[in-house]
Amino acid sequence: MENNEMIRNILHSILVIFVLASCQNENDINKIVSNHWQQDSINCIVDFSSCFSFNWDICYYFSSKCSLEEINKDLGMQFNEFEDTSDRMIFVQDERVVYTQDWYYIPGKIQTGITFDPGIRKLKIKKSNARFRVEKKHEMYLLTPICS
C-alpha cells in the first residue's frame, strides 16, 4: 500500500508541475525583453515581429495618461479591457485585438517590467518596424523605438 501511495504522490506532483508550466504565458513581454537582455546586454535590440505566438499587424503603446476615449479613437474600435492606472500594449490583427499586456505602477514600490521613455504618451508601430533598443534601469527595461 505504501508503494502505491508514493507512486500516486509522484504522479500528482508531475501533474501539478505540468499544469503550472502550461500556465506560463509565452507571449509575456517582460519575459521576452528580459531574455533578449540576458543574451546581449551591451547592444540589446528586440524585434517584436518575431517574438510572439500570435499573428498581428500593428502594436500600440498607451501610457496611463491616455483616456479610454483616446485609445478607442486611435484603435478605431471599442476596447473593453481598460484600467485607467496602467500603461499597456495592444496588438491588433485585421482590426481586432489579439493580445494585450498592462503594467501597473504603484508609487513607493520598486517597479519591474518594461516602460517606454516618459515623454512617449502613445505609439503606433507596424509589425515590419517593431524594433526597440533596450536599456536596463534598476529593475525596469526601458524600450526605445528604433526608426528605420
Q: What pLDDT tens digit does each residue of the chain (148 aa) get?
A: 567 666 665 654 454 444 334 345 677 888 888 887 877 777 888 899 988 899 999 999 999 889 889 999 999 998 887 767 789 999 999 989 999 998 887 778 877 888 888 888 999 999 999 999 999 888 888 889 987 5
pTM: 0.77
* Triad 59, 85, 136: Cα angle to 5°: 60
Under a CB-based contact definition with an 8 Å cutoff, are residues 88 and 58 in contact?
A: no
Domain ranges of the chain: 27-145
Under a CB-based contact definition with an 8 Å cutoff, are residues 114 and 61 in contact?
A: no
**What pLDDT does residue 28 have?**
87
Distance (Å, whole) CA 85 – CA 65:
8
SS3 (DSSP) at 76: coil
Q: Cα 72 to the chain's mean position, in Å?
A: 20
Q: Cα 141 to the chain's mean position, in Å?
A: 12
Under a CB-based contact definition with an 8 Å cutoff, are residues 140 and 117 in contact?
A: no
* Triad 38, 33, 119: Cα angle to 5°: 125
Sequence letter at residue 65: K
